Chain A
Amino acid sequence: MDSINQLFWAGQEVYIMMIFLPVIIGSLVLCAGVVALFTISFRWQHYRLWRLGKEEDCFHQTADRLKTLLAVIFANFRLGKEFYPGTMHLLIFWGTLLVFLGKITRLFSYPVGLTNPPQHVFLYASFVSEIGGVLVLIGGCLAVIRRYIIRPSRLETKPDNTLVFIWGAAIFITGYLIKGFRMAAVGVAVSPDWFSWAPVSYLVSRFILVLPAEPLNELLIWHRVLIHAIPALLLFAYVAVSRSPLQHLFLSPLNIFFRSLKPKGALDPIPNFEEAETFGVKEISEFTWKQLLDLEACTNCGRCQDVCPAHLSEKPLSPRRMTQNLKQHLWREGPNLLSLPPEQRQPEPIMGTSVGEDELWACTTCMACEEACPVYIEQIRRNIDIRRYQVLMETKFAPEVQLTLKNMENNSNPWGIGSHLRADWAKGLGIKTLAEDPHVEYLFYVGCSGSFDDRGKKVSAAFAKILKAAGVSFGILGTEEGCCGDSAMRIGNEYLYQNLAQANIEVMKGYNVKKIITTCPHGYNALKKDYPHFDGNFEVWHHTEIIAYLIAKGRIALKKPVEGLFTYHDSCFLGRYNEIYDQPRRILKAVPGLKLMEMERNRARSFCCGAGGARMWMEEAIGERINNMRTDQAIAAGADRIAVGCPFCLTMLADGIKDRKKEETMAALDIAEIVWKAMDLEEEKPVGDVCAAPSAS
């Protein structure tokens, strides 16, 4: 090792002392300048803009935040979901890190006397830098191929992107050239052992072979060192002060650190509803500071756009574009707002300038975008905030939604059916209400679909019969039950939602309810995550969780084969929102005769049915119908039955089957219906009949 070490530096002392040492000292001084520049720029360009936003506490649970931050940064945790871009980013990230490690070791080895003559650590630092540079160049080539040759539609290439590629390549290549020049300057007698410690530069040096005796060479090396060092420092300075995409180097980690740690999909209620003067978000400074950081942290990678059902069905919504437009809005409006005292500000509204009406209402709140986002940007909360303003302050929403809201207000269900008919589905089933028997273990919260929709009623009946057969102690609220309010909340009518939620909580508390089962993931999510805001703390279960439990405990036996090629559609509010992926699949696998296959988009990558975000109650006039697209995906998987665990999905997919004219060969079924059939406890209609579209049933 020592001989290699000495050889590595033999004859180069002059270059170290006369060329590299001054450059390193200069770099250290300039680095201090870049850090100062960064601090000023960070405060001026970012921090003061975020301060425009409202307060939000994101400083608690520091250890958890740090843990995720480190996982995302070093393992590229969320980026790995896609092989090509994931690999590309991993190579660039780790390559850059290795180069920095190597360079910093070298930089500080001089002041602390570690080298000169260099110690072993330098040889390793040299090797690490060389390998790091190769990784960056490979990753960079992959990125260039993807951006300029493959050109996926989600990537928006701006001149800044091209600049970063050219600049980065120039720096890394000049780095290798300098080292190559330095080796070549020693002469042709360079030891081949050097190849082990500086493989790329060694090869470069073989091509150069500059004459060692010429004093001009020294001058040239000087120049080349500067050609490498100055652009490198300027790149740092550029990234520090510009709005370059490379600013994600610090904005993304910040956003990941301050990400929401609230339950997934839970929406904050409007505080002090009775006293508030305005609701929701009209202009940029009405977002919270974290929402403004979200905008700046968006790297424009387009992963959200690739999974957005609204975008894929040709609606005018792209989560990426919306975030980018809002970012531009912040950059445009922010400095104007800051230049005036608050009372003189006349902020530009978001709607109509940066966000279009169709764009806003196209969102199904399916959370696919948030699940895909590598930097944890919250899209849904932002959209709902804007919707809140539109609904509560401007009364601007689709006319059909007006009727839905009115029905919910008058009859506590979106269809406007008399609330006295809410328990009619249970007639003849021997189900007691809590008024009749309050000492039951579970409240079966049926929800609006399960109570009023013809198809939903069959699901409720099937599930109630399963519970009875398993000997589960349960009851219903009957006519005392009200709408959960999820649709009102997702539309943005917080006032109506809070009224409905509080009414339900009051009734449930009146019966001292502790445990609740729902068949609807929307109700499940609202009861579990949103009702606690109003002191409604219950243990909430989805019916697929309960059925899976009953099967596992042997309390229900599945005897009768249910023939068919089934695929399971993950409801957004059950899957992505609540991570219930396995229980429904376990149930289906336990059914004799049932063949289960997966659609291409499944589990966390599942495709929305099109009903979320209160889209269930809106017309879908633009682009392809989302439910038809999901049905096509099931057809492509070769399934003839679609199993679901959500009444909205059931309706949407049954409609999709009808639209695709597949009623004769295909059907959508709730898991409770499949299980009840497999239990074979009473004469049932054939599966195909059970799962006909609602209008036909």
Chain B
Amino acid sequence: METFTRAIAIVVELAILTAVFYSLFAGITFEVFDFGLNQKYHKFIKLVMMIMGCLMLVFLVAHLIAFYPRLPVNV
């Protein structure tokens, strides 16, 4: 895989992962309110999810950089 294609692949994968985790966090947020949590906690829940999202992003970037398939040697 060429360096350029590799960069694109990482970005695409990162976007997909962001979507997946956004979905999971948003799902949890809606869920807790469906279960009767007072709407006044909406801001707090949102903040918690945002912090978790940022942590997740840092982890994913680090993970992808560390483990993404290495460039083939001598190609």
CA distance A216 to B1 in the complex (A): 15
Residue pair B69, A174 in contact (C-beta under 8 Å):
no
Residue of A208, A227, A244 near B9 (CB, 8 A) is A208
- Place the interface of chain A in its size category: 20 to 34
* Interface flag for A163 (CB, 8 Å): yes
Q: Give chain B interface residues in 1-48, CB to chain A under 8 Å.
A: 1, 5, 9, 13, 16-17, 19-20, 22-24, 26-27, 30-31, 34, 36
What number of A-B contacts does a CB cutoff of 8 Å give?
A: 68
A234 touches which of B19, B27, B30 (Cβ 8 Å)? B27
* A17 interface hit (Cβ, 8 Å): no
Q: Is B27's CB under 8 angstroms from A174's CB?
A: no
Our pick among B20, B30, B31, B69 for the contact of A214 (Cβ within 8 Å) is: B69
Q: Once the chains bind, are A217 and B69 in contact (CB under 8 Å)?
A: yes
Interface contact B69-A167, CB-CB below 8 Å: no
**A211–B70 touching, CB < 8 Å:** yes
Most buried by A among B30, B70, B72: B30
Residue of B20, B30, B68 near A170 (CB, 8 A) is B20
Chain A, interface SS category: helix
Contacts of A216 in B (CB 8 A): 67, 69-70
Question: Of B24, B31, B34, B69, which contacts A210 at CB under 8 A?
Answer: B69
Q: Which of A163, A173, A210, A335 is the one whose CB lies under 8 Å from B16?
A: A173
Question: In the bound complex, how far is the Cα of B30 from the Cα of A159, in angstroms?
Answer: 9
Shortest beta-carbon distance from B52 to chain A in Å = 15
Which residues of B sit under 8 angstroms from A159, Cβ to Cβ? 26, 30
Task: Decide: A220 near B23, CB < 8 A? Known: A170-B16, A173-B16.
Answer: no
Residues of A within 8 A of B36 (CB): 335
Determine if A160 and B30 form an interchain contact, defined as CB atoms under 8 angstroms apart.
Answer: yes
Interface size class of B (residues with CB under 8 A): 20 to 34
Q: Is there contact, CB below 8 Å, between B16 and A174?
A: yes
B23 touches A166 (CB 8 A): yes
Query: Which residues from B are CB-within-8-Å of A688?
Result: none
A238 neighbours in B (Cβ, 8 Å): 27, 30-31
Contacts of A254 in B (CB 8 A): none
C-alpha gap A65/B43 in the complex (Å): 46
A residues near B20, Cβ cutoff 8 Å: 167, 170, 174, 227, 231
| Minimum Cβ distance to chain A for residue B3 (Å) | 14
Query: CB distance A177 to B30 under 8 Å?
Result: no
Q: Which A195-243 residues sit within 8 Å CB-CB of chain B?
A: 207-211, 214, 216-217, 219-220, 227, 231, 234-235, 238, 241-243
- Binary contact track B59-75/A, C-beta < 8 Å → 1, others 0: 00000000111101000
Tell me if A169 counts as interface (CB < 8 A to partner B).
Answer: yes
Distance of A433 Cα from B70 Cα, bound (Å): 99
Give the shortest distance, in Å, between B30 (CB) and chain A (any CB). 6
